[in-house]
Structure 1
């Protein structure tokens, strides 16, 4: 099995550009630096001793900032380029995370949650644009696959470390995340080559584009609405469920980090092999339906009468991850 995994990835990622590898490494550390997000709710309830309602408010505001940041990051990438957006969002976001660790006033934390997530998510569209720019001809799909692999490795490692750090000190979690984010920005500043005439070329490409109106495509709109609902359910697993594990099942932070970290590890190891095995053998819609069923089962496990909480938590994450893949 290990040899199969190794050969699959070796074949998939050979011949990619040096910049593509650098961007993926940067993204890995960026996602590794997202370690504090799943513990945001626990920080509010366990460290600040606020209610679950307040934890839910912080999580919601973090989501609002993420939406705004992702949209704005894409627009700013068109205006000033992907390199400055990645550098600024990483460094400013990192500084704000460190500031977050020093604040105890809840209303201020609510404002910071929006601002921090805004800068954190502004990084991603800029990074995706950079991947497309630096990819060699004929390798763009594999370049994005490497980027996704980096996301999952970073997520798995980050959340596992976060469990250890949170079990020691919650505030330290935000300091470490802020430090990692700043290092990511500095790495891009000093290691990623500057791009000449990117904005000029982007404007030329836009002038030659045929602008389509997605709202006129009813099937597409329906698909996006269903996808939004699906993703909303998915995010609950990493925002709300950690609080459930702690409050209801009394699982400690260290174990929560390891359990949730299984998500990224399983995807990193098996997703590419699964895609190679089942691609084009059935309709994609069938796999979407199967994935949705696994999602539903994972949440039903949370409401089942349970004796062995840690084992059930592991089974929940594994089932959820199969659905995600």
Structure 2
């Protein structure tokens, strides 16, 4: 039996390109540097002793920067290439995060949050495009799953270490975060092959062509609107929920970090195997709908009266993670299936924008509802809207497996 398990894991990872593996290693480094983001709301409330509404403002500004960064990143990727955009965005973002650690003036922190999130999300369309460019035909979903495995391994390491560092010193958390981000840029520069003559080649190939725009693709627009609704609640697990764990369930930062890190560990252990078994078996929509419903179930668990909160939080994270594993890889596959080599950056930007808008809408609304009406109202409303979101996805006419 053990031998069969090993064989299954080995088969799940075979057949992927060398560049796909390189990108995933780089992403592992990059996401390890994302350790500070889940603790930004706690930094504002616990370290700077400012109200919850200010924590919501910081997260909202982070989302606004994400929108601007995703838009710019997608355009720059189609013009300059994914390698250059990834290198510059990670190194610049890391430098500003280190600077962030030296500032206590709230308005300056708001500005730096905008700049940091701009560079963080300019990276994402470039990385998304790079995966699509290097993936072997028929291996796209597994290529994205490998990248997500690296992302979530990095997230698991980053969140766990971040929680320990935050319980000791918040400023050190931002310094470590920024340093690792700079190392990520250096790794891309050193290991990812350069694409010579990228700008010239793009100009030559697109001369005389009418390149489709993502906002003219009606099915894509409907899909992205539903994805934005889904992401609006999805990100609250890493923005509002940590504060809920601290204020209502009275958990320590190190415990919160470990619970968040479980998300990455589960994905690292199971996603590639699961995707290799179910890929091309049923429609994309089938898996996306199932994933959305599981995420809704995870938030419904927070409505249970507090009893053994750590156990309940762990179960909720397991539900949430399996919902994520079912939905996000197939959302990625759909997005890339609608694009081509001439507009892939713009389609990737459209997808990235959906999560960026969600980071503006979600935390602001979430923190406001929690502060004014209570967490139970927030969780109940989220569950109802996630059910509506799942229904919306189920009505889309997507024929691709």
Deviation at 1:132, TM superposition (A): 3.8
Q: Tell me if the contact between 1:13 and 1:143 (Cα under 8 Å) persists in the aligned partners.
A: no
State the aligned residue count.
325
Q: Relative to structure 1, is the Cα distance of residues 213 and 18 closer, same or farther in structure 2, using a 3 angstrom cutoff?
A: closer
Q: Give the alignment of 1:1-325 within 5 angstroms.
A: 3=3, 6-135=6-135, 140-207=140-207, 210-215=210-215, 217-325=217-325
Structure 2 gap ranges (5+): 326-401
Q: Tell me if the contact between 2:249 and 2:306 (Cα under 8 Å) persists in the aligned partners.
A: no
Deviation at 1:267, TM superposition (A): 1.5
Of 207-216 and 250-259, deviating more is 207-216
Q: Tell me if the contact between 1:29 and 1:184 (Cα under 8 Å) persists in the aligned partners.
A: yes
Distance in 2 of aligned mates of 1:158 and 1:52: 24
Distance in 1 of aligned mates of 2:230 and 2:116: 24
Q: Relative to structure 1, is the Cα distance of residues 214 and 18 closer, same or farther in structure 2, using a 3 angstrom cutoff?
A: closer
Deviation at 1:147, TM superposition (A): 1.7
TM-score (norm 1): 0.91
Structure 1 gap ranges (5+): none
Q: Tell me if the contact between 1:156 and 1:264 (Cα under 8 Å) persists in the aligned partners.
A: yes
Which string of whole-angstrom CA distances, capped at 9 and with x for unpartnered residues, describes residues 126-184 of structure 1?
A: 22333344456665554333222211211111111111111111111110000001111
Q: Tell me if the contact between 2:145 and 2:275 (Cα under 8 Å) persists in the aligned partners.
A: no
Q: Tell me if the contact between 1:5 and 1:269 (Cα under 8 Å) persists in the aligned partners.
A: no
Of 146-155 and 16-25, deviating more is 16-25
Q: Tell me if the contact between 1:163 and 1:256 (Cα under 8 Å) persists in the aligned partners.
A: yes
2:345 is matched with none
CA RMSD of aligned residues (A): 2.2
SS in 2 for 1:292: helix
Could you list the structure 1 runs, at least 4 aligned residues long, displaced by more than 6 angstroms after superposition: none
Distance in 2 of aligned mates of 1:212 and 1:80: 19
Deviation at 1:274, TM superposition (A): 2.4
Q: Tell me if the contact between 2:17 and 2:134 (Cα under 8 Å) persists in the aligned partners.
A: yes
Deviation at 1:18, TM superposition (A): 3.5
Of 255-264 and 218-227, deviating more is 218-227
TM-score (norm 2): 0.75
Which string of whole-angstrom CA distances, capped at 9 and with x for unpartnered residues, describes residues 94-128 of structure 1?
A: 11001111111111111111110110111122223
